[in-house]
């Protein structure tokens, strides 16, 4: 086996406060997605399917869930000579004594690891995006253009542009890509129309120099510091235009919308066709029995994974392994994580519910009067929702809420801690 030339580094350390209680105890890259997987499974599976097998994961915030999920890397065939997954948390030594201060700083603090592998190109990826891509096409474009940096971009609507790093790309290669002529990070009125997907392919020597120079800055971010500096220096920066599906999961609404893109006769996300793998040992996914649907059970336009028991109606929803829906209960427009139990005669709508939560009998969640705009309710893990409780639309419940803090009615939009 030839020694690999590409080192992939996945940025998976952040929490994303916009994901609320879903990231109280896990990084955003470890948030469950798609009925059995985690968000980080998408870049990991893309790397596996692209034949890139030397991978480092930069983790910082509550790493245990992510470390437990990655395991040895065997789920993605990342075991063997010249291949593997290394998890790189922050560390203290004679030179370093603090946390990763940003995405660029995380790479900088691990330059000894990078240089040990002596790659010909360094592929930096975000761990919290939903997409399918063959990175070999990006690498080929990077080499064809003899680029110092290739940024993978996607055209997005102007209304969303202020949230992202935006690049202006010339027409050198038409639909494939072109030279980046302008780059602005989270600008209110950016010049470019192509959003950076936080997929960056660097010449190693260019990255090393930029990271050293970045130590004089204060934010230590690729979008805010590194890319603009390389632009000013006149480096060869190219944008590779990605045209496939791309789901962002930074907010509750974005996470929910991406989840709903799994449903329908012709879903926008097809995890089987995309070749998405996960660690089936994590939470014992592979050991669950087949799903059981009772005589009165009904499943409509939903994903229901192994180990579920359905005695009510499930519509436009995603159920992870071990979920139990009680008799005469209705679950609609919901994402229900692992091992959650919903009692009898419940009415559940517009809900994301974290793992190991039990809903008693006659519980109502998210039902509205009239045609008001949907607002998602989010319930953190390890909760015990009492019988006859009414949870209004748009509520947020912290994990492990104490029994004495549960009112009979939680008003719409309220946050319980």
Cβ-Cβ contacts under 8 Å for 325 (sequence gap 6 or more): 297, 308, 309, 310, 311, 312, 313, 314, 319, 331, 342
| CATH architecture of the domain covering 288-416 | 3 Solenoid (2.160)
pTM here is 0.94
> Would you state the pLDDT for residue 4?
81
* Residue 306 φ/ψ region, left for φ over 0, alpha for ψ in the -120 to 50 degree band, beta for the rest: beta
> Cα–Cα distance between 165 and 226 in angstroms, integer?
12
3-class DSSP assignment, residue 52: coil
Alpha helices in 165-297 (DSSP H): 204-214, 227-232, 252-260, 271-274
Is 380 in contact with 407 (CB distance < 8 Å)? Answer: no
DSSP 329: -
Predicted confidence at residue 168, as pLDDT, reads 95
Q: Quick check: 6 and 137 in contact, CB under 8 A? A: no
Who contacts 117 (Cβ-Cβ below 8 Å, separation ≥6)? 7, 54
Question: Cβ contacts of residue 205 below 8 Å, gap of 6+?
Answer: none
Residue 100: predicted pLDDT: 82
Q: Where are the beta strands (DSSP E) in 49-193?
A: 54-58, 84-88, 121-126, 129-131, 149-155, 165-169, 177-185
CB atoms within 10 A of CB 153: 28
- The whole-number pLDDT of residue 365 equals 95
pLDDT, position 175 = 87
Are 308 and 323 spatial neighbours (Cβ–Cβ below 8 Å)? yes
- pLDDT of 15: 80
Question: In the CATH hierarchy, which fold is given to the domain comprising 6-260?
Answer: Spore Coat Polysaccharide Biosynthesis Protein SpsA; Chain A (3.90.550)
Same CATH topology for 6-260 and 288-416: the answer is no
Q: For position 158, what pLDDT does the model report?
A: 85
- Segment (H or E) for 116: helix 111-117
For Cα atoms 32, 336, 156, give the angle at the middle one, nearest 5 degrees.
Answer: 55
Average pLDDT of adjacent 10-residue blocks, the chain of 417 residues: 85 87 94 96 97 94 91 93 90 74 89 94 96 97 97 92 93 92 91 94 96 82 92 96 94 96 97 96 90 97 97 98 98 97 97 98 80 82 97 95 93 93
pLDDT of residue 373: 66
The predicted pLDDT at position 98 comes to: 78
Domain ranges across the chain = 6-260, 288-416
Q: Which residue has the tokens 């590194």?
A: 226
Instruction: Please state, in angstroms and rounded to a whole number, the distance separating the CA atoms of residues 391 and 367.
Output: 8
Helix (H) or strand (E) holding 292: strand 292-293
Q: In angstroms, rounded to a whole number, what is the distance separating the alpha carbons of residues 208 and 221? A: 14
Looking at residue 17, its pLDDT comes to 87
> What is the pLDDT at residue 166?
95
237-241/177-185 β-pairing: antiparallel
Write down the pLDDT at residue 291.
96
């Amino acid at each position: 086996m030839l020694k690999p030339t590409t080192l992939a580094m996945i940025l998976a350390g952040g929490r994303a406060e916009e994901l609320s209680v879903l990231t109280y105890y896990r990084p955003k890259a470890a948030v469950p997605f798609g009925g059995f997987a985690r968000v980080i499974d998408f870049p990991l599976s893309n790397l596996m399917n692209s034949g890139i097998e030397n991978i480092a994961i930069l983790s910082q915030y509550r790493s245990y869930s992510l470390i437990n999920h990655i395991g040895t890397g065997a789920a993605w065939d990342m075991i063997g000579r010249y291949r593997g997954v290394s998890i790189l948390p922050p560390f203290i030594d004679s030179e370093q004594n603090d946390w990763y201060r940003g995405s660029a700083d995380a790479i900088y603090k691990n330059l000894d690891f990078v240089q040990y592998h002596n790659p010909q190109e360094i592929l930096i990826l975000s761990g919290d995006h939903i997409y399918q891509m063959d990175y070999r096409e990006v690498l080929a474009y990077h080499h064809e253009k003899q680029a110092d940096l290739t940024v993978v971009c996607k055209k997005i609507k102007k209304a969303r542009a202020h949230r992202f790093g935006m690049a202006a790309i010339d027409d050198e290669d038409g639909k494939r890509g072109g030279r980046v002529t302008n780059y602005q990070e989270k600008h209110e009125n950016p010049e470019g129309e192509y959003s950076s997907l936080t997929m960056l392919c660097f010449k190693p020597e260019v990255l090393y120099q930029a990271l050293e120079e970045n130590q004089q800055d204060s934010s230590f971010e690729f979008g805010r510091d590194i890319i603009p500096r390389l632009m000013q220096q006149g480096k060869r920066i190219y944008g590779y235009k990605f045209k496939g599906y791309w789901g962002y999961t930074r907010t509750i609404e974005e996470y929910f919308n991406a989840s709903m893109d799994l449903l329908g006769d012709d879903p926008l996300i097809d995890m089987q066709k995309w070749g998405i793998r996960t660690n089936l040992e994590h939470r014992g996914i592979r050991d669950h029995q087949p799903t059981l649907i009772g005589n009165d059970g009904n499943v409509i336009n939903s994903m229901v994974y192994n180990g579920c028991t359905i005695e009510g109606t499930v519509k436009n929803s995603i159920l992870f392994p071990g979920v139990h829906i009680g008799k005469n209960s209705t679950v609609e427009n919901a994402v229900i994580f692992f091992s959650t139990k919903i009692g009898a005669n419940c009415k559940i709508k517009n809900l994301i519910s974290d793992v190991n939560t039990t809903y008693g009998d006659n519980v109502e969640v998210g039902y509205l009067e009239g045609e008001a705009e949907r607002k998602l309710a989010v319930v953190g893990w390890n909760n015990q929702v009492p019988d006859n409780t009414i949870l209004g639309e748009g509520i947020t419940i912290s994990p492990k809420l104490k029994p004495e803090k549960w009112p009979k009615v939680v008003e719409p939009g309220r946050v319980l801690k």
